[in-house]
Structure 1
């Protein structure tokens, strides 16, 4: 009998420990799920509405865990950090899952297993880095426990924007909160004309914060109400109102709704402004999507197909009366010195139509990924070198350490170097804003060139080695850049998606995927300057300074913290 009781107690104890472990893991699982929901806002799912609520569970977990910590003896480490880490991994891991498309890299001479390991390392590293940044944000929020909700919202929004600015200043950047709204919610993306993508990021963070504080405030009110009722010992529930429903209008939820509507109204005003289309500013641009698989880049067959596809495409568009033809990044995978002898340049000399040709520039013993302007005589009159290179894909970070482990994933043996950060790109039609592939994720590249007089955007990319969701996200990035700079954009890719975008972010035409295509569209040169182009990202410093000032006043006792 005693053995049975001992066994039963042991099973109950085991179940209790399992329940405790599950309860301890529950915050991390909730945070991971909400991070995954945020990751679903971009292609291929595109559930952009989730962005306005997907941070709420994390915000609630961080604030409430900090409150619980202060109500009991301090724990060795903050309980908010693991959920934040899981949220960041969930978001960036799902949003950037297209990275796995680089595997297998056997066409580059990388064996299957090392290719898989490199792919998993890239995916895991960027996901973990995203988790680290969110953990830093959570650590700041924990310090704000006991302060007014409005201060948490202000500082939480400011710190999130500041961390995104810090991250985007480095070599690894793609998945800002702002791009969760592109291309589906163009109205809110127009806030980028005010202070860049961080304006949209601030809007998303603030609305999520307000909803989260509404939930926290309502729960605190319920707990306080129940506590007061329980203290009234001996009084019937009817007299205390214990059974009556709690009547409570949550001001934070009202403010969140009002802010969301107001921000969309501002965006709609910007979106509704007419676009001038002056005949003298018109420029008919043709795009050739060559559809050359990257696995053929190093072969003679690949170069033959590239010559044939781009030359035939150029001739077709020239006969349609275009002013210029744009080709993708690395359309002809050869050095600059060999370009003049190609059939494509011979066609330029014959037809007299300007061409922007993607190839490799030379800089001493090194090379650059470049876009060359050939005038009507077939002469190179300008060159833009890609300045934002893809880590591991186009250069090896910490090459002295990793160079012997990870080989460069490039079709050329020479050493690749970035272009300078302050390039200008003059063409026979005026100054242009040039972008090559990965640079689409860096708004400052476009802002600087627009401020220097760039009148239209030419974006040249090659996304052939990724899954289909990546080129659609890439197109969404170019939409944001067109809106922020108030410029027309022509985007040429190797395998898709090529397209034309107007200054309101509307896609005039988009290509198929893994198809050979040519298309011509009229775009217009513009010299307008948005507030963002003139002043840059002024909102993030303003948020950081104002939130820091408010916190300092509270510390000095000029404002009550509660």
Structure 2
């Protein structure tokens, strides 16, 4: 056990959290996750008071999220980089805010154990802490619009079979099991062996589930879809002098050989570098990218003939006549990056923040296009990181469409972590995903989270692939976080039952 006190304990927690972040995509240095989580538990155990446990947890979380979210800095340095000096303090401040959640888990669990000392046994205290950790992760994903980036379960992203538990309990439930596995050495060698057995069993069960359908690169029998990855640097994207060239490039890539067999062409988020309104001249050019009898599915900044209505970050369904057959407006906007609260009422002030504000969409949708393309739910960029919030109401869609522009973040870890979130949503929902990214990573992902085809970062190209088949609705797709609640309740009842049983034993 780590028995450091004062600033030494805080410093150790900061370093341990940073080390644990290196187990996240794309590095997956899993041993560092064990080191980081074990240190978190030891420092928590050695804290003299719940408040001390909170500060140690806060320090751990600050180090963890500073390393895990460093990639946000890249966006501040995209030319003209007007706000470059604000990048480091904003990212550091965000890390401190996010650090509150591991701190809360440490504080709450210590309060519980101090109140009921019977729960202080080597196994029961670990379960209490794991439950508190999971509650804190869930809160992080929901409070103040939520930021469920890099939940602990993402450390298994390198081993798809180990991700399959998300189909039962979602990424938060998988994160609870992950915490128990990584922290097992703090409870002794028996717990460590049990953790290894759990990982092995989970891997076997996940692999068996995936073996139920054809594996790897099977094309299946779904309609052909083409993903276009234009690889336009963010510094070039919105320059008026390159507007026509960019749209022409998108059309040319869309019409490469094999065009006639396609059911749909997919362009990434805000692919046309201009606001698209009904009747826009650009729509006639974009219609050239619509395959015969098919559709163009493109991210775009959508406007109306009334400028005062605002602009939406949208997914447009464009038919062969150049008409907008359907659209979806992004609901979960990035605070300050895409959305500034009260921006219309405080126009002089909001105009000085960031690069403008989109309007908030009305709600999730499931689109049922014509031309034989199965129904789908669009998810724009950042929206894909939110569990249980990627499909529209009503009938279940047959696939997910994720359009994004990660050009803001260069070759950092951010786009790879974003891709891992997308894979987890396919597992949770039991639905395949077509993912179009401006500079990567574009991908075809099956309903088990396997990447069947992809284009890596800063590569220009296309992916032609048949749409993978969906699975039967998973427990998580049916009941959402109620399955997580059932898991937490089971562990809680087990703890209470064990405590009552021990209290009745003769001394």
C-alpha offsets along residues 203-242 of structure 1, whole Å, 9 cap, x if unaligned? 111123432122xxxxxxxxxxxxxxxxxxxxxxxxxxxx
Comparing 362-371 and 200-209, the one that deviates more: 362-371
Report the equivalent of 2:56: 83
State the 1:285 CA deviation.
Answer: 0.7
**Secondary structure of the structure 2 residue equivalent to 1:465:** helix
Q: Aligned match of 2:27 in 33, 41, 45? A: 45
Tell me which of 105, 108, 113 is aligned to 1:140.
108
- Aligned to 2:298, what secondary structure does the other structure show? strand
Give the SS at the match of 2:11: helix
> Which residue of 1 is the match for residue 362 of structure 2?
420
- What is the CA–CA distance in structure 2 between the aligned matches of 1:258 and 1:560, rounded to whole Å? 32
Are 1:198 and 1:539, in contact at CA under 8 Å, matched by a contact in 2? no
Q: Could you say which residue in structure 1 is the equivalent of 2:296?
A: 355
Answer yes or no: is 1:274 the counterpart of 2:213: yes
State how 1:391-470 maps to structure 2 within 5 Å: 391-397=335-341, 404=349, 407-410=352-355, 415-428=357-370, 429-446=373-390, 448-449=391-392, 452-468=395-411, 469-470=413-414
User: RMSD between aligned alpha carbons?
Assistant: 3.1
Deviation per CA, 1:279-322: give whole Å up to 9, x if none.
99511110111122222333222312221111111221563622
Which residue pairs with 1:5 in the alignment? none
Q: Distance in 1 between matches of 2:286 and 2:313?
A: 18
CA distance 1:177–1:101, shift in 2 (3 Å)? same
Distance in 2 between the 1:452 and 1:279 partners?
Answer: 26
Q: Deviations over 1:488-514 (max 9, x none)?
A: 221111111112122232222221322
Question: Counterpart of 1:89 in 2: which secondary structure?
Answer: helix
**Counterpart for residue 76 of structure 2:** 103
Residue equivalent to 2:420: 476
Q: Is the 8 A contact 2:403 2:437 kept in 1?
A: yes
Deviation at 1:324, TM superposition (A): 0.8
Does residue 521 of structure 1 match 2:503? Answer: no
Map of 1:76-475 to 2, 5 A cutoff? 78-107=51-80, 111=82, 114-117=83-86, 119-143=87-111, 144-145=113-114, 146=117, 147=119, 148-169=121-142, 170-182=145-157, 184-214=158-188, 250-275=189-214, 282-316=222-256, 319=259, 321-332=261-272, 333-337=274-278, 339=280, 341-348=282-289, 351-362=292-303, 365-397=309-341, 404=349, 407-410=352-355, 415-428=357-370, 429-446=373-390, 448-449=391-392, 452-468=395-411, 469-475=413-419
The alignment partner of 1:514 has SS state of coil
Q: In 2, are the aligned partners of 1:451 and 1:529 still within 8 Å (CA)? A: no
Q: How far does residue 161 in structure 1 lie from its aligned partner after superposition?
A: 1.6
Choose 1 or 2 for highest CA Rg.
Answer: 1
**Matches of 2:66 and 2:489, distance apart in 1:** 32
1:33, distance to aligned residue in structure 2 (A): 2.3
Aligned equivalent of 1:35: 17
CA–CA separation in structure 1 for the residues paired with 2:133 and 2:348: 34
* Larger CA deviation: 37-46 vs 463-472: 37-46
> Quick check: 1:511 aligned with 2:455?
yes
Unmatched segments (≥5 aa) in structure 2: none
Task: Find the aligned partners of 2:291 and 2:238 in 1 and give their Cα distance.
Answer: 29
Q: How many residues align?
A: 488
